[in-house]
Amino acid sequence: MSKTTRATQALAKAGVSFTVHAYDYDPSAEKVGMQAAVALGETPGRVLKTLMAEVDGRPVCVIVPSDREVSMKKLAAAFRGKTASMMKPADAERLTGYHVGGISPFGQRKAVPTVLEEQALAHAAVYINGGQRGLQVRLSPVDARNTLKAVAASVVA
C-alpha cells in the first residue's frame, strides 16, 4: 500500500501538518467508517467518513463522524438548497477519482462544496480518509475545514 496518494499530496502542498495511518481494510464490513475506527483503536466520533451527495442536483462532499448518519434535510439547509440525496457510488467514483471506501475530500478530481460536521471541531485531531482503502490521515479538524474551504454545520440526524 502506498502512503502517497492525491490526498496526501494535496495536504502536503497546502502545508498542512498530518500523519498517515494504515489499517487492514475489510471490504465486507457493514460500515466502513466504523471498521476503520475499531482498527485504529479510536472513538467513532474522531474517525470521520467522507460521503458524496447532491443538493438540488449539484455534487457536494459531506464529512461526518463514522457512527452518525447524515440528515438530508440539514444537508440541504447547509447549502441553502431544497433537497439532498446520496450520490450513487459509480457517480461518486467518477467525480472524485477515488474508489468507494477510499474516497477522501482532499485531492478530488474536481473540487466541490464541502460541509464538515461541526461536532468534529471539538476534537484536537480527527482521522479522515487518505485517498485509499485502509489509509487515514490524522490532522486538525480546523486545518481540514480551512484546506477544503468547508462550511462547518450540524448535518447529522
Q: pLDDT tens digits for 125-135?
A: 999 999 999 99
Tell me whether strands 58-65 and 135-139 are parallel, antiparallel or unpaired.
unpaired
- Arithmetic mean of pLDDT, 119-147: 96
pLDDT at 24: 87
For residue 119, tell me if it sits in a domain. yes
CATH number at residue 109: 3.90.960.10
pLDDT at 26: 80
Q: Is the confidence at residue 8, as pLDDT, over 70?
A: yes
Give the rounded percent of residues in the chain with a pLDDT score beyond 90.
87
Give 27-48 as a DSSP string: TT-SSHHHHHHHHHT--TTTBE
Q: Is the confidence at residue 2, as pLDDT, over 70?
A: no
For residue 1, tell me if it sits in a domain. no
- Arithmetic mean of pLDDT, 104-113: 95
- Arithmetic mean of pLDDT, 15-25: 93
Nearest Cα residue to 36 out of 25, 51, 52:
25
Convert the pLDDT of each residue in 73-87 to its tens digit: 999 999 999 999 999
Nearest 10 degrees: Cα torsion 139, 143, 149, 152:
80
Partners of residue 136 on adjacent β-strands: 21, 129
Average pLDDT of every residue of the chain? 94
16 lies in which domain range? Answer: 6-153
Distance linking the first and last C-alpha atoms of the chain: 35
Residue 105 main-chain phi, psi, to 5 deg: -75, -15
pLDDT at 60: 98
Convert the pLDDT of each residue in 21-64 to its tens digit: 999 888 777 787 788 888 999 999 999 999 999 999 999 999 99
* Residue 35 in grid coordinates: 471498521
Q: Is the confidence at residue 15, as pLDDT, over 80?
A: yes
Number of domains in the chain: 1
Give 84-124 as a DSSP string: EEEPPHHHHHHHHSS-TTS--STT-SS---EEEEGGGGGSS
